[in-house]
Structure 1
Amino acid sequence: MDIIYKRLTENELDTFIQMRINQLHEEGATEEIDLVPNLEDYYNRHMADGTFVSWIAKDGDKIIGTSGMSFVEKPPYFGCPSGRIGLLSSMFTNPNYRRKGIAKELLSRVVSEAKEYGCGTVQITASDMGVKLYTDFGFKHNGNFMHYKL
């Protein structure tokens, strides 16, 4: 097994999108809509303007792990004086490659990207499977997180 890590490019986007959809289903999504056009639009726009970065893991030509970091800006607050926030997403490792440190390496790389971008914090809505990875990395729970569906 010869794993290489690299930044996501347009060349890998189709596979990346399919892995994102697989991840959402694995996490329990049941909606039956075609998300591919929306994901293509999002990634193409935000990769182009630098507000989305991703590191992927490959074994040969096969993508076996993904990560993603979207950069957003809010009014500065005491916990994040820059107002810049990294939203972590797309953390997924092929089931045959899990428990080998791949997700931790990908996480480390996208968190570094967030730091370089000037983010003061990184946020994620963690799957049950991901909680241990994020806790071990140093993420803290925020019990007040809420959302309102429009």
Structure 2
Amino acid sequence: MNIHYKKLTENELDIFIEMRVLQLREEGAKEDIDLVPALKDYYNRHMANGTFVSWLALENDKIIGTSGMSFVEKPPYFGCPNGRVGLLSSMYTEPSYRRKGIAKELLTRVINEARLYGCGTVQITASDKGRLLYTDFGFVKHENFMHYKL
């Protein structure tokens, strides 16, 4: 295995978006919506202003793993006194490459990006498949997450 890592650029964005949609479907999304235009708009805007970063895993120029970190600012709270929060997303590894340390390496790289940005905490909504990766890394589950769909 000759795997290398690089930051996402505009050149890889279309494939990155395809893999994001695959990840969402694998996690159970059933909605019949074309998310590609909205994802393209989001990533273009947030990559340009520095509030989204992604590391990719590649083997022979083929993307085999993705990661993403969005940076948001919330009102400061005791768990994060500066209010800067990293929202982890787009963690996906091609099935035949799983359980080889690729996701852990990608996670390490985007966590470092959050640290450099000044985030006080990183949050994720973990799929069942990803939960072990995150707990092994040191993420702690909180029971009080709720959402309200508008």
On whether the aligned pair clears a TM of 0.5, the verdict is yes
2:7 matches 1:7: yes
Cα offsets for 1:101-126 (capped at 9, x unmatched)? 00000000000000100000000000
Q: Where does structure 2 lack aligned partners over 5 or more consecutive residues? A: none
- What is the DSSP-based 3-state SS (H/G/I as helix, E as strand, rest coil) of the residue aligned with 1:34? coil
What is the one-letter code of the residue matched to 1:129?
K
CA distance in 1, matches of 2:14, 2:61: 14
What is the one-letter code of the residue matched to 2:8?
L
Q: Where does structure 1 lack aligned partners over 5 or more consecutive residues? A: none
CA distance in 1, matches of 2:83, 2:113: 16
Cα offsets for 1:26-51 (capped at 9, x unmatched)? 00000111100000000000000000
What is the one-letter code of the residue matched to 1:30?
K
Cα offsets for 1:121-145 (capped at 9, x unmatched)? 0000000000000000000001001
What is aligned with 2:129? 129
What is the one-letter code of the residue matched to 1:128?
D
RMSD of aligned Cα (Å): 0.4
CA distance in 2, matches of 1:108, 1:31: 31
Query: Cα offset for 1:61?
Result: 1.4
What is aligned with 1:101? 101
CA distance in 2, matches of 1:9, 1:60: 17
Q: Percent identity?
A: 77
2:17 matches 1:17: yes
Equivalence map 1:1-150=2 (5 Å): 1-150=1-150
TM-score, with structure 1 as normaliser: 0.99
CA distance in 2, matches of 1:39, 1:68: 13
Cα offsets for 1:67-115 (capped at 9, x unmatched)? 0000000111111011000000000000010000000000000000001
Residue correspondences, number: 150
CA distance in 2, matches of 1:52, 1:66: 13
CA distance in 2, matches of 1:108, 1:146: 27
Query: Cα offset for 1:65?
Result: 0.2
CA distance in 2, matches of 1:110, 1:140: 17
